[in-house]
A and B are shown apart, each in its own frame.
Chain A
Amino acid sequence: MDLAPRVAAKVKTGLTAHCTDLYIDKAGDKPQLIAVVPGWGGNLMVKIACPEKRPQMATVKPGVMEKPDRVKDRQGQIIRIETNINDADFRARTIEIIEEKPSGIPLDEADIIVAGGWGLESVGGFELVEELAEVLGGAVGGTRPAVDKGWLPEERMIGSSGKTVSPKFFISAGASGAMHFTTGFLKSKVILAIDKNPKAPIFEVCDLGIVGDLGKIIPCLVGELKAAT
């Protein structure tokens, strides 16, 4: 968060942060990097270039790019640079690092994620989502309102100010589909939405939809899935 901006300032160039896509535009006089960032919590797609200054710099949001496999016989030149850092250069000092391993399957390793939102309140809370995730062997996530309710810890929040995920199967339950939430999982392979409001925007960003009472549908679904798997 703090390294890239300071480097950009030192080399006097522009920096585009938290990119979700990068490509080279070859149309102009000189090829340039186009950095794509979700603006306004994902409501807008913003493309940014750095036309004059070189180098061009960008940081990539975790979880949005596919990690390529390791190619064994690739060769590259490693350049060693002598640095001249002394003790006085360290102004902020790390005293200790506290690991808070989230319980359950981490979001970034899960093939299946079940995320819950505000709509769960009227049907008895978050346990439904946890049950569904358990029977599917998936991880649990949630929206900002679900985190604010204290249903799940901050590190389980999905969206523009939380985690970006791209599992094989993403289920949204009881979330209306605010952009700053949906932008966090748009690249998932298959998206299922369950909500009681057929006009909720969540149904514009999913592949499969179920309209109905979460409190009744999820228990039925858990039963079916238990029988099926």
Chain B
Amino acid sequence: MNIVVCVKQVLDPEIPADKFRVRANQVVPPEEVAPVINPYDAQAIEAALRLKEKHGAKITAITVGSPDAEDVVRRALSMGVDEGIVLSDDAFTGSDSSATAYILAQAIQKIDAADLILCGREAADWGVGLVGPLIAERLNLPVITLAKNIELLDGNILKVEQVIPDGYQVLEVSPPAVVTVSGEIGLPRLPTGMGIITAARMEIPVWTNQDINADTSLIGANAVHSTLVSLSIPERERKCEIISGETPAELATNLTAKLKELGLI
């Protein structure tokens, strides 16, 4: 089975709120914080690796970004992914979800017939979760979002458990298909020492638009449908009243009185 995992480099979502800066409608990354692999994409890699362990597979990680985005592909390789490709070209700069999905779809078509395309449920930066379904649309493939478990059944059928409110549903689909992976799949494995050494030695090709032949009218900043109106740090409107009291018992008494006053109990 050939599996392609789409990964994205993002600003570490765990950085404290006061490190966020916005200038001219752009996020200014804090200098001391290195970008990371989108945590949901790491879970998509985990899902791919579990399938590989059980059934054997060749896994390719691809990313669209600056040449620096190589770091996230190398991270994927160190976790056990077999090959990686960086898609980087000035023509790609400013692409929205739709254009990014098109770029990825063009690349996926160039990779040996992919049976399964995996994405994280969303990226930790914009958090919109559009790229996976849009790749499916581009390639005219079925898509299943929010998978918490993926299995390959006899007869080459993928069985996917999809998270829904108050439970999950079991779907079956014949490959090729696109699946986005939900948090419920569990924590992704950490790279092993050997994995890191192997990954460090691997060549990661950079493909430009010459390699994937995307229609330039459909990519980059000129192709965007949705535009950013503003980016700002949200105002905090609440004023916190700290309940006074010397002992836990006194604090509890004073709080209970306050809650009564507010009609909350």
Partner-B contacts on A (CB < 8 A):
1-2, 5-6, 8-10, 12-18, 25, 34, 37-53, 91-102, 106, 112, 136, 148, 154-155, 160-161, 168-169, 178-180, 190-193, 198, 201, 203-213, 216-217, 219-221, 223-225, 228-229
Contact = CB atoms under 8 A, between A and B. Distances in A.
Given A43-B20, A206-B240, A228-B265, A160 B127 contact: yes
Interface in B116-151: 121-122, 124-130, 132-134, 136-138, 141-146
A39 B173 CA distance: 33
B130 A17 contact: yes
A140 B130 CA distance: 31
Interface of B: 11, 13-14, 16-18, 20, 22, 27, 40, 96-98, 121-122, 124-130, 132-134, 136-138, 141-146, 159-160, 164, 166-174, 177, 180, 183-184, 187, 224-234, 236, 238-243, 248-249, 251-253, 255-256, 258, 260, 262, 264-265
A124 to B, nearest CB: 15
Contact of A92 (B40, B124, B171, B225): B171
Contact of B166 (A94, A95, A101, A190): A101
A208 B169 contact: no
B248 A220 contact: yes
B183 A9 contact: no
Given A37-B128, A207-B239, A221-B256, A16 B262 contact: no
Given A5-B130, A40-B13, A205 B236 contact: yes
B13 A225 contact: no
Nearest to A193: B240
Contact of B232 (A41, A45, A219, A223): A45
A106 B133 CA distance: 29
Contacts of B159: 95
A192 B231 CA distance: 29
Contacts of A13: 225
A16 B128 contact: yes
Nearest to B253: A224
Contact of B169 (A94, A101, A112, A207): A94
A168 B174 CA distance: 47
Nearest to A42: B234
Given A169-B264, A209-B240, A221-B255, A95 B172 contact: yes
B228 A210 contact: no
Given A2-B133, A16-B128, A201 B17 contact: yes
A211 to B, nearest CB: 6
Contacts of A47: 228-231
A44 B234 contact: yes
Contacts of B170: 94-98
Nearest to A180: B13
A196 B64 CA distance: 43
Contacts of A216: 248
B125 A39 contact: yes
B256 A44 contact: no
Given A44-B233, A50-B226, A210-B242, 12 more contacts: A14-B98, A46-B230, A47-B230, A49-B226, A92-B144, A95-B169, A99-B167, A154-B184, A178-B17, A209-B242, A213-B248, A217-B248
Contact of B231 (A14, A44, A101, A211): A44
Nearest to A39: B126
A2 B145 contact: yes
Contacts of B40: 161
B126 A46 contact: yes
Contacts of A217: 248, 251-252
A91 B173 contact: yes
Contact of B249 (A100, A180, A220): A220
Given A16-B128, A43-B17, A220 B171 contact: no
Nearest to A1: B145
B128 A1 contact: no
B22 A44 contact: yes
Contacts of A211: 242
A184 to B, nearest CB: 12
Nearest to B19: A43
